[in-house]
A and B are shown apart, each in its own frame.
Chain A
Amino acid sequence: MRIRTIEELLVETRLFADLAEEHLATIAGCGTTAQFGEGEYLFREGDAADTFYVIRSGSVALETHVPGRGPARLTTLHDEDVLGWSWLFSPYRWHFDARALQPVRALAFDGACLRQKAADDHDLGYELMRRFAEVIVSRLQATRMQLLDVYHHPQDG
């Protein structure tokens, strides 16, 4: 059984499938595979954000710690989801904790390296920005709906 290259795995993801060959190669060049056991943190709030992940299997919870409440789970991410955009924007620090709920296999990309490459090659930069903007918009819509608390009824406590 041949182990597939990062590039081949990248092409299979929804987010990067239609990327130009050369950009794929560049991004793949900054990537490796990663594994996390159940309960392990992928990153923690406040840490330097220099990586982003594409989840291949397993699930990850985005959490934040609320005094008096413990860890508050905001959302969960699953197969094919992209995890992490703080690497793209200053101050390049994580805003939340990410913890594996089940064992996770993912592709991990060196954000610092990609930031540099994007600065040098604006075409690549545009492609990355556009795709991550879509991800952020989609997450924002979902978050807004979560805030609506649609199942809550006025007579509930």
Chain B
Amino acid sequence: MAEPAVASPYLPEPFRIRRRRRETADTWTLELEPAAGGDVFAFEPGQFTMVYAFGAGEVPISISGDPGRRDRLVHTVRIAGATTRAICSLRRGGTLGIRGPYGTAWPVRRAEGGDLVIAAGGIGLAPLRPAIYAALARREAFDRVVLLYGSRSPDQLLYPGELERLRARSVDVHVTVDRADESWNGPVGVVTTLIERARFDPERATALVCGPEVMMRFTAAGLAAAGISTNRVFLSLERNMKCALGQCGRCQFGPVFVCGDGPVFPYAAVERLLTVPEL
């Protein structure tokens, strides 16, 4: 039997769940560590892993933790099918398979020297959270750090406690919901309405946008209309993936493979592609 000379990139590493927290009715944040011990691999904000649930399947999940920490791999997972349901049903101590990290990163370092505008919709805040942590680790390198966060309703907001802590670290936090009842005293409306209200210098701003594709299309357009060059507005695209290695062909979006050429793309590169129905 031939031994593979190099570990196959198709084989997952077992990771154990150390903590899990329910964020909303269908979303969980898991903190994982390698079952074999040692540090978690280094990763950049915006990257993702392929998460394998025994016998169920494997899905791409963005890393949502602090890239400055090597003790935990953090994933925020929304239940959307059989595999994510299997992932979220494991209790503390349960083991998942992890491959990664994959993909392109949010250009946080490149944004230094100007304003950083982060626009998140729904669960899109999870892949952006590592970028927020990275920016805060070098807060003095940025002028303004602005977070625009839109969600369906108040009970769908992720990391609500952290939002207050961000304000304390001079992040301009604006939160809005699509619909609310009387218990919500904050803004009601789509996240693009926050763009007008936010203070940033478009000529020196970099924007990072993540959320459902429709939301990203409108928000990126809104940020561009506000004067940020489309070369400095970045989106994180999503497509189903079975390999994350550029070899199964499924994540193609026009000429690009979302797994390797993305998931982070400059808006300028994908603006036209986003307008093609069923691309």
A contacting B, Cβ–Cβ less than 8 Å: yes
A interface residues (Cβ-Cβ under 8 A, vs B): 59, 61, 70-71, 73-76, 78-80, 101-102, 141-142, 145-146, 148-153, 155-156
Instruction: Determine the distance from Cα of A148 to Cα of B80 in the docked complex, in whole angstroms.
Output: 19
Q: Which residues of A contact B121 (CB under 8 A)?
A: 150-151
Which chain B residues (167-198) contact chain A, with CB distance < 8 Å?
Answer: 176, 178-182, 184-190, 192-193, 196-197
Q: Which residues of B contact A70 (CB under 8 A)?
A: 181-182
Tell me whether B215 is interfacial, beta carbon within 8 Å: yes
Q: Which residues of B contact A102 (CB under 8 A)?
A: 185
Q: Which residues of B contact A145 (CB under 8 A)?
A: 190, 192, 214-215, 218
Interface size class of B (residues with CB under 8 A): 20 to 34
Q: Are A73 and B212 in contact (CB-based, < 8 A)?
A: no
Instruction: Identify B189's interface contact among A76, A79, A149, CB under 8 A.
Output: A76
Answer whether A142 and B187 are a contact pair too, CB < 8 Å, given A150-B121, A151-B121, A151-B151.
no
Q: Are B193 and A142 in contact (CB-based, < 8 A)?
A: yes
In the complex, per-residue mask of B100-116: 1 if CB is within 8 Å of any chain A CB, else 0: 00000000000000000
Answer whether A73 and B188 are a contact pair too, CB < 8 Å, given A150-B211, A152-B152, A153-B80.
yes
Answer whether A73 and B190 are a contact pair too, CB < 8 Å, given A150-B215, A153-B80.
no
Identify whether the interface residues of B are mostly helix, strand, loop, or mixed.
Answer: loop
Q: Are A150 and B122 in contact (CB-based, < 8 A)?
A: yes
Q: Which residues of B contact A59 (CB under 8 A)?
A: 187
Some 6 contacts from A to B, beta carbons below 8 A apart, are A61-B188, A75-B189, A78-B197, A145-B190, A146-B179, A150-B211
**A-B pairs, 6 with minimum CB distance:** A151-B152, A151-B122, A150-B212, A145-B190, A75-B189, A76-B188
Q: Which residues of A contact B151 (CB under 8 A)?
A: 151
Q: Apart from A71-B182, A73-B180, what 13 extra A-B contacts exist at CB < 8 Å?
A: A73-B181, A76-B176, A76-B186, A79-B197, A80-B197, A142-B192, A146-B179, A146-B189, A149-B152, A150-B121, A150-B215, A151-B151, A151-B211
Instruction: Identify A149's interface contact among B80, B178, B185, CB under 8 A.
Output: B178
Instruction: Determine the distance from Cα of A101 to Cα of B182 in the docked complex, in whole angstroms.
Output: 10
Tell me how far the C-beta of A28 lies from the nearest C-beta in chain B, rounded to whole angstroms: 23
Instruction: Determine the distance from Cα of A79 to Cα of B197 in the docked complex, in whole angstroms.
Output: 8
Instruction: Identify B190's interface contact among A78, A146, A153, A156, CB under 8 A.
Output: A146
Tell me how far the C-beta of A46 lies from the nearest C-beta in chain B, rounded to whole angstroms: 21
In the complex formed, the residue of B with least CB distance to A153 is: B80
